[in-house]
Structure 1
Amino acid sequence: MKAVCMYFELHQPYRLKWFWPDHSEGFERYFDTAINREIFEKVADKCYLPATKTMLQLIEQYEGDFRFSISVTGTLLSQCKKWNPKVIELFQALADTGCVEFLDETNYHSLAGLFDDKSEFIEQVREHHKLISETLGAKPLFFRNTELLYNNSIAKTVSEMGYSGILIEGVDGLVDTPNYVYNSKNCDLKVLLRNYKMSDDIGYRFSARWWSEYPLTASKWADWATHQEGEILNIFMDYETFGEHQWTETGIFDFLRELPGEVLERNLTFQTPSEIIGKYDPVGEIDVKDLSTISWADIERDTSAWLGNDMQRRCFEEVKLLEPYVKKTGDKELIKIWKHLLTSDHYYYICTKWLGDGDVHSYFSIHTSPYEAAINFMAIINDFKSQVFKNLAAKDKNIYT
């Protein structure tokens, strides 16, 4: 019996403000509270609240046969706590059903996994694990990295942290088909690969009138699923697909409500990642060299969405180089700001790709162009750098000698 493994990612960053030095201090000096709250409340009303209520209804309706996995970044959870705790209550209700597996990731949806030294990456993952355990009562055993960034060294680190498996992108040419369980090279870590075509049929093409398969129905999609080669079908997408990326008017919620019944009627099952690797044996090995890091972003499915141009690389290197100095301050607020500057979204907004990928990069960005985003980010980095060294200088008068 073939299994459908559905996974949803939930994330909102703390967006940077249009920066000009003023008398504000700490986190509010760099991050725009008003715009962040406005975007959060819009997405909560359109997606987080109605989608989660629908998920809970479906779990009850199908008496636990509808099962899936989910990950929630620490940045989003902190926004929920401040601006709508009802969202967290619904996440807690999902955890209480026993039908939803919560996954771990970097707490700040960051690019820390791309550091050569993985200590910051490990620190952020542990922070996320603690937050999910304390907030939702779940203790994740499975991992998904920011934007499904993956290479052999990331896999080795995740394995050494005790996780049983990891989600990655089913990049063309990596394996013959993503529809099986695989092993990671040189470590004890199971790998589940996203079937990007079947996932994107829902996440991206659902409301596309130019698409030859429009309109997509739950029945049609379930028929396709039954004809997929392999043992499992890994369907990974943004949770915001439901109500935000695909508006209610497109019929996406009707599709969601009908999907479990159509899938189950065809003798397919829903299973979580941990259930999948407990049932199916690996059929091969995944080998991704560090210089060939993969992701689920854009046509290239590599790191170019965040580090593809000189502006992105310069910003990333500047933030990365600040790590020892920021941590030497011991200042919790400065450390918090620095970790949030590693959030992948800031670099994503600086991407200079155009056409379809460019439209995706501009979504939720407050900037009118990637060049403005880069200039603003560098201005913030330079000001933040002065704050860090001012703090160090106050503690050690000889720091510049």
Structure 2
Amino acid sequence: MPAVVLYFHLHQPLRLKPFSLFDLSTTTADLNEAFAPVNQPILHKVAAKCYRPANQMMLDLIRDFPDFKLSYSISGTLVEQLSAYEPDIIFQLQQLAASGRVEFLDETYYHSLASLFSPKEFFRQVSLHRQMIRELFNQEPKAFRNTELIYNNQLAETVAQMGYQTILAEGVERYLWWRSPNFIYQPPGLPQLKLLLKNYRLSDDIAFRFSNRDWSGFPVTADKYAHWLSALNGSAQVVNLFMDYETLGEHQWDDTGIFEFFRHLPAAVYRHPDNRFLTVSEASEAFPIMDTVDIPEITSWADLERDVTAWLGNPLQQQASAALYALESPVYQAGDQNLIKFWQQLTTSDHFYYMCTKWFADGDVHKYFSPNNSPLDAYTYFMNVLHALRLKLYANQTTSPLEANSYQLITGIPAHDYRYSSAL
């Protein structure tokens, strides 16, 4: 059987509250008022249903199976929330890191689309994330996963220049052609960078189809799944099982048997000869490069298209993202660290995901994750919050009477407290 690479991603966004122009008077004083009160209860629920029991289960598996290994990545947005409200989860993750059998990968700190809009911001957020992994888990990441596995040749070149040795991507068939995702590849012209591709069929059997009673593979037991893995023996180096950590207990509830499945999976895998679990970097180092995979266009692990239309597929998303990144230079030029952090928090990809207007199965997934009643609501709240940031950003510049009076009418803040910039 090929080596099994089990990789989980952990992330929770800071959702925005239903934000109207009438909220400007309070939010321009404290931009953090733009975030929804539901963020803390949602985090508490996910910690109880997923993070806490899943972490304990992985610690138990590491104790019981000396060769069991896995890999994680975690957004800075989630780490900040856990540190504030669920610090025991951070301690569990530190225990996993200290075991020596868990690898933490790098990504963008704010789970952003910066790689598509701003090389400078992409570098800033990856650097922030690398520093966080060093400080929290005492690891120097050698592998990188971009937000939502967004990937193309250009990103691979950037990541290689940043010193990473491995990058993850979706095993998109339109670029693999006849090849299998179950081998180690390289991007064009970058033999120093290994490319690990997600086996989306076997990954999604767990992440999406596990509890689907209409699926021909239902029910999935550990023994059955290990048999599927062993069927690849002789025709694969690795099987890359990449999924959200929230699959355990949150997307697939406890009563589906998801925890029991993972508790028994290592034993079932080890019953087959020559089986092993490897971390991302161990798999990258264990096998030679099989071929070059050329992916000139942008791919991701989202939706049926496996592209970026989940975040940038309609005019609402395109306008909102353009407006956000148009503020990048003014925000950094202002030099206010609070404004910079708030702007970076708005770069989180989830804000644009909630604006998606797709139909059918993909549309249902977007609706499931969105805290808003509609994509238009998500767009409206985001743009109103962005306007609050603009008002705060330009508060110390030259006053325009017309703009100042309009500002006072909307916010109730005296006109002399508003400053106008022609940059608007």
TM-score class, shorter: over 0.9
User: Structure 1 pair 393/200, CA: closer, same or farther in 2 (3 Å)?
Assistant: farther
Mapped pair 1:310 → 2:310: no
Q: Distance in 1 between matches of 2:386 and 2:370?
A: 18
Supply the AA of the counterpart residue of 2:261: F
Q: Which residue of 1 aligns with 2:283?
A: 276
Q: Distance in 2 between matches of 1:378 and 1:399?
A: 19
Root-mean-square deviation (Å): 1.7
Q: Deviations over 1:74-93 (max 9, x none)?
A: 00000001001000000000
Q: Distance in 2 between matches of 1:315 and 1:162?
A: 32
Mapped pair 1:319 → 2:324: yes
Supply the AA of the counterpart residue of 1:127: L
Contact 2:31 2:389 in 1 (8 A): no
Structure 1 residue 220, shift from structure 2 partner: 0.5
Structure 1 residue 378, shift from structure 2 partner: 1.4
Partner of residue 185 from structure 1, selected from 188, 204, 212: 188
Q: Which residue of 1 aligns with 2:168?
A: 167
Instruction: Give secondary structure in 1 for the equivalent of 2:25.
Output: coil
Instruction: Give secondary structure in 2 for the equivalent of 1:8.
Output: strand
Structure 1 residue 184, shift from structure 2 partner: 1.1
Mapped pair 1:377 → 2:379: no
Contact 1:329 1:391 in 2 (8 A): no
Supply the AA of the counterpart residue of 1:250: T
Q: Distance in 1 between matches of 2:120 and 2:388?
A: 26
Q: Percent identity?
A: 46
TM-score by length of 2: 0.91
Mapped pair 1:156 → 2:128: no
Contact 2:153 2:187 in 1 (8 A): yes
Q: Deviations over 1:107-152 (max 9, x none)?
A: 000000102x411101100000101111122221100000000011
Q: Which residue of 2 aligns with 1:44?
A: 47
Structure 1 residue 230, shift from structure 2 partner: 1.2
Q: Which residue of 2 aligns with 1:344?
A: 349
Q: Deviations over 1:273-300 (max 9, x none)?
A: 11111110111112222xx200000000
Instruction: Give secondary structure in 2 for the equivalent of 1:9.
Output: strand
Partner of residue 241 from structure 1, selected from 238, 247, 258: 247
Structure 1 residue 374, shift from structure 2 partner: 1.1
User: Structure 1 pair 399/311, CA: closer, same or farther in 2 (3 Å)?
Assistant: closer
Instruction: Give secondary structure in 1 for the equivalent of 2:6.
Output: strand
Q: Which residue of 1 aligns with 2:94?
A: 92
Contact 1:148 1:296 in 2 (8 A): yes
Q: Which residue of 2 aligns with 1:294?
A: 299
Structure 1 residue 400, shift from structure 2 partner: 3.5
Q: Which residue of 2 aligns with 1:129?
A: 130
Contact 1:26 1:334 in 2 (8 A): no
Structure 1 residue 391, shift from structure 2 partner: 4.1
Q: Distance in 1 between matches of 2:420 and 2:76?
A: 37
Instruction: Give secondary structure in 1 for the equivalent of 2:7.
Output: strand
Supply the AA of the counterpart residue of 2:361: G
Q: Distance in 1 between matches of 2:79 and 2:269?
A: 31
Q: Distance in 2 between matches of 1:226 and 1:9?
A: 25
Q: Distance in 1 between matches of 2:272 and 2:314?
A: 47
Supply the AA of the counterpart residue of 1:354: W
Q: Distance in 2 between matches of 1:170 and 1:300?
A: 12
Partner of residue 261 from structure 1, selected from 267, 274, 283: 267
TM-score by length of 1: 0.96
User: Structure 1 pair 21/54, CA: closer, same or farther in 2 (3 Å)?
Assistant: same
Q: Distance in 2 between matches of 1:353 and 1:362?
A: 10
Q: Deviations over 1:350-399 (max 9, x none)?
A: 000122111211233210111111111111112222221224559xx895
Q: Which residue of 2 aligns with 1:205?
A: 209
Q: Distance in 2 between matches of 1:178 and 1:75?
A: 30
User: Structure 1 pair 347/218, CA: closer, same or farther in 2 (3 Å)?
Assistant: same
Structure 1 residue 192, shift from structure 2 partner: 0.1
Q: How does 1:356-395 map to 2 (within 5 A)?
A: 356-393=361-398
Contact 1:181 1:191 in 2 (8 A): yes
Partner of residue 223 from structure 1, selected from 227, 248, 262: 227
Q: Distance in 1 between matches of 2:123 and 2:328?
A: 14
Computing the radius of gyration from Cα coordinates, the structure with the larger value is 2
| Structure 1 gap ranges (5+) | none
Instruction: Give secondary structure in 2 for the equivalent of 1:21.
Output: helix
Contact 1:17 1:31 in 2 (8 A): yes
Instruction: Give secondary structure in 2 for the equivalent of 1:119.
Output: helix
